[in-house]
């Protein structure tokens, strides 16, 4: 949970023309804390999407279970899961809070500077997070219920999208194609995870404009 400097001994044994040699090196390694990340590659955020964490599974499956108990609803299944999880995150009091020490907008432009990302269970516990924390949380909750997700990055901001269905899925006819993302015969629905207040449809509309 904390960064530290550790010593490492490297032993090197090798042979050149039948003669054996040995070298020993002592190096210092800086180990960063488990929440540390640099934004030289946006895909690193995926390592924080812990969909199999028991805390995440419990929250996600209990929430989605309410849909099943209410009986069949004539809407896309992934769409219903996304609505219910977005609503549940808001109902437990989760809010969007910019971390003044490590704001994503600034650190994402500085690829060598360490940022601090929360794991989903931390965001659920703290009930607050930056845009990256909330995107990670929402991805983890959806992945825990079997819904494929992806990150979307634009200059100074990160949000997410989830797999809605294949392009030949008849249920997609009820959606406005201008508010979806189509890639490799898959339809994705973008969500602005910082827009917790105002409902799921507002979060979708904001993300679609971006």
Residues 6+ apart with CB under 8 A from 37: 44, 45, 47, 48, 114, 115, 116, 117
Q: Are 148 and 183 in contact (CB under 8 A)?
A: no
Chain segment 151-173, per-residue pLDDT in tens:
999 988 999 999 999 988 888 88
Which pLDDT band holds residue 143 (cuts at 50, 70, 90)? very high
Predicted TM-score (pTM) of this structure: 0.85
52-85 pLDDT, tens digit each: 999 999 999 999 998 877 767 677 899 999 999 9
Contact 163, 182 (CB under 8 A): no
Taking residues 83-96, report their average pLDDT. Answer: 95
SS3 labels along the chain? CCCEEEEEEEEEEEEECCEEEEEEEEEEEEECCCCEECCCCHHHHHHHCCCCCHHHHHHHHHHHHHHHHCCCCCCCHHHHHHHHHHHHHHHCCCEECCCCCCCHHHHCCCCCCCEECCCHHHHHHHCEECHHHHHHHHHHHHHHCCCCEEEEEECCEEEEEEEEEECCCHHHHHCCHHHCEEECCEEEEEECCCCCCCCHHHHHHHHHHC
């Amino acid at each position: 949970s904390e960064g530290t400097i550790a010593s490492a001994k490297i032993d090197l044994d090798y042979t050149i023309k039948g003669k054996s040699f040995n070298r020993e090196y002592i190096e210092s390694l800086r180990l960063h804390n488990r929440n540390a990340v640099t934004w030289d590659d946006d895909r690193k955020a995926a390592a924080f999407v812990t969909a199999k964490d028991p805390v995440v599974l419990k929250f996600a499956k209990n929430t989605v279970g309410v849909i099943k108990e209410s009986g069949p609803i004539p809407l896309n299944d992934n769409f219903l899961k996304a609505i219910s999880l977005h609503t549940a995150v808001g109902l437990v009091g989760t809010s969007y809070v910019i971390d003044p020490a490590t704001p994503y907008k600034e650190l994402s432009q500085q690829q060598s500077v360490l940022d601090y990302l929360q794991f989903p269970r931390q965001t659920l516990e703290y009930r607050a997070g930056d845009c990256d924390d909330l995107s990670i949380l929402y991805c983890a909750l959806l992945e825990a219920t079997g819904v494929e997700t992806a990150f979307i990055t634009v200059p100074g901001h990160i949000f997410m999208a989830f797999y809605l269905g294949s392009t030949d899925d008849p249920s997609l006819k009820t959606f406005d194609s201008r508010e979806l993302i189509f890639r490799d015969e898959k339809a994705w629905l973008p969500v602005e995870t910082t827009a917790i207040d105002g409902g799921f449809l507002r979060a979708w509309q904001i993300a679609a404009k971006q």
